[in-house]
Amino acid sequence: MNSLIVVAHPEANSFNRALALAAQQTLESHGNQVRFSDLHARGFAPDEHPRHYSRRKNHERFDALTEQRFSAEHDTLPQDVARECDDLMWAELLVLQFPLWWFGMPAILKGWMDRVFVYGKLYSGSRRFHSGVCRGKRAVLSVTAGASWEACAHDGQEGDTRLILWPINYSLHYLGFTVLEPLIITGVRDAFAGEDSCAHEQGLHAQLRRHAARFADLGAIPAIPFNVAQDWDERRKLKPGTEVHSPFIRHHADWRLG
């Protein structure tokens, strides 16, 4: 299996990088080919901008989707984007490794998605969701949070981290990926009250070992359910009585009605 690990953390010796390297080691030990994209080490520019395009369809007004499609069709994508796209097309498994910052992904990873999920190459109006370019590939988020597992739970003060990650997972589903349940590693920031730093460090090492082991049996990680094509009517509205899988797509406007 070909695997691509994308890391979004500015510190070269971060726990996030250690998690990514542990995943890489496990995958390679099981005969997988792994490519490693450290966005900060590569100096990836996260902002979509006219300066990235040496050849333009419209020099008067910059429209990102127009220029992405034009560049994809003429094989003139920016060099950094073209490399990431090649890695994505090569990979059968995509791992996005990042810390949860302000209840979302770091800016560099959001920019990576903005620029690398190229319109006309990675998706189009007729190539998305279950007919997407990445159909048959798997993707998984590996995310660290500073707060405790209890605080990141559905009834925790930090909010339900799994639910917070849903829009990112839906973006991957939009490209056609089979999206696995996210790997959420909590309590990584500092020792909690009553816990000494040594115990905290030991806990991180234990989480690192458990994380590596998950990549030895990816089949044990369930896929996130999404609505299928026949669940939508001609207006792209959810059909009455169709099963719902997330509060983001539901039958009632008032979420409390479920």
Superfamily, domain 2-225: Flavodoxin domain (3.40.50.360)
Cα-flanking dihedrals φ and ψ of residue 202, to 5°? -65, -40
Contact 224, 202 (CB under 8 A): no
Instruction: Give me the pLDDT at residue 193, please.
Output: 53
**In this structure, what token pair is assigned to residue 154?**
């559905």
Tokens 């816990």, residue located: 195
Instruction: Give me the pLDDT at residue 199, please.
Output: 75
Instruction: Give me the pLDDT at residue 111, please.
Output: 97
Instruction: Give me the pLDDT at residue 148, please.
Output: 78
Instruction: Give me the pLDDT at residue 131, please.
Output: 87
Residues of the chain with pLDDT below 70 are 190-196, 255-258
Instruction: Give me the pLDDT at residue 188, please.
Output: 80
Q: 119 pairs with which residues across the strands?
A: 123
Instruction: Give me the pLDDT at residue 165, please.
Output: 96
| Residues 107-143 pLDDT 10s | 999 999 999 999 999 998 888 988 889 999 999 999 9
Instruction: Give me the pLDDT at residue 180, please.
Output: 97
Would you call 36 helix, strand, or coil by DSSP?
strand
Instruction: Give me the pLDDT at residue 201, please.
Output: 76
Would you call 179 helix, strand, or coil by DSSP?
strand
Map out the domains of the chain as residue ranges.
Answer: 2-225, 227-258
